[in-house]
Amino acid sequence: MLIQALYTGLSGIRSSGTAIDVVSDNIANASTTGFREYNVEFSSLFEDSVRTSGNQITPNNTVGLGSKVVATTMSTQDGSLKLTDRSTDMAIYGDGWFGVQGVGEAVYTRAGDFTFDVNSDLVTPDGYHVMGTMGGNIDGNVLTSAIDSIALGDVGKQEQLNFPRDLIYPPEPTTNAQFMGNIGDGSKDIIMAAAVIDTQNNKNNLELTYTLSEVQVPPGRQWDISASVKSLDEQTIYDTQTGTASFDENGALLETTLISIDNNGTEVAIDLGVGYEGIVSLSNANLTASSVSNGTIGGNLMGYEISTNAEVIATFTNGMQSSVGKIAIYHFQNDQGLERVDSSKFSVSSNSGAPIFYQDANGNNVIGTDIRNFQLENSNVAMETALTNLILFQRAYDANSKTMTTADEMMKKALEMGA
| Domain tally, the chain | 3
Choose the weakest-confidence range: 6-15, 56-65, 91-100, 213-222.
56-65
Q: Are 34 and 377 in contact (CB under 8 A)?
A: yes
Report the candidate in 299, 281, 297, 300 with the shortest Cα–Cα distance to residue 289.
Answer: 281
Question: Same structural domain for residues 269 and 236?
Answer: yes
Cα–Cα distance for residue pair 398/13, rounded to 1 Å? 8
Same-domain check for residues 194 and 223: yes
Q: Which domain holds residue 94?
A: 83-168+321-377
DSSP H or E segment with residue 43? strand 38-44
Give yes or no: residues 134 and 226 share one domain.
no
Q: Does residue 272 share a domain with residue 188?
A: yes
Q: Give the CA-trace dihedral at 367, 372, 374, 380, to 10 degrees.
A: -110
Average pLDDT, the chain: 90
Gap between the Cα atoms of 234 and 212, Å rounded: 25
Residue 308, in any domain of the structure: no
Residue 184, in any domain of the structure: yes
Question: Is there a single domain that holds both residue 274 and residue 371?
Answer: no
Domain boundary among 244, 274, 293: 293
Q: Which of 170, 153, 172 is nearest to 161 (CA)?
A: 153
192 and 269 inside one domain: yes
Three-state SS for 170? Answer: coil
**Does residue 410 surpass a pLDDT of 80?**
no
Alpha carbon 73 to its chain's center: 29
pLDDT tens-digit map of 94-142: 999 999 998 889 999 999 999 999 888 999 999 999 999 999 999 999 9
Q: What is the mean pLDDT of residues 296-300?
A: 95
| The predicted structure's pLDDT at residue 43 | 78
Handedness of CA 340, 29, 130, 95 (dihedral sign): positive
Percent of the chain scoring above 90 in pLDDT:
73
Same domain, 373 and 383: no
Across 124-214, the runs of DSSP E, i.e. the strands, are 129-134, 138-139, 142-143, 159-160, 168-169, 176-182, 190-197, 203-212
**Same structural domain for residues 369 and 383?**
no
Amino acid letter, 115: T
The per-residue pLDDT for range 335-369, each reduced to its tens digit, is 999 999 998 999 999 999 999 999 999 999 999 89
Mean pLDDT of the 7-19 span: 79
97 and 47, same domain (yes or no) = no
Q: What pLDDT score does 65 carry? A: 67
- Residue 253 shares a structural domain with residue 331: no
What is the rounded CA–CA span in Å between residue 105 and residue 107? Answer: 6
Within this chain, do residues 352 and 385 fall inside the same structural domain, yes or no? no
CA distance 256 to 269: 12
In a domain, 332, yes or no: yes
Cis peptide before 219 (omega within 30 of 0): yes
Asked if 184 and 286 touch (Cβ cutoff 8 Å), the reply is: no
**Residue 207: C-alpha distances to residues 173, 200, 201, 238, 291 (Å):** 17, 20, 19, 12, 11
Domain for residue 307, yes or no?
no
- Contacts of 21 by beta carbon, 8 Å cutoff, 6+ apart: none
pLDDT of residue 403: 76
Can you spell out the DSSP letters for 47-70? EEE---TTS---TTSEEE--EEEE
Claim to verify: residue 183 and residue 275 sit in the same structural domain: yes
Report yes or no on 135 lying in a domain: yes
SS3 233: coil
Structural domain includes residue 315: no
How far apart are the C-alpha atoms of 103 and 112, rounded to whole Å? 19
* pLDDT score, position 17: 86
Within-domain flag for 276: yes
Q: Residue 333: is its pLDDT beyond 90?
A: yes
**Chain segment 17-63, per-residue pLDDT in tens:** 888 999 999 999 999 999 999 998 887 766 555 445 555 545 555 55
Average pLDDT over residues 282-296: 94
Please choose, from the candidates 156, 152, 108, the residue with its C-alpha nearest in 3D space to the C-alpha of residue 128. 108
Lowest model confidence (mean pLDDT) among 90-104, 119-133, 249-263, 401-415: 401-415
Euclidean distance between CA atoms 311 and 328, whole angstroms = 10
State the pLDDT at residue 119: 86
> What CATH number is associated with residue 281?
2.60.98.20
- pLDDT, residue 11, reads 75
User: Does 303 fall in a domain?
Assistant: no
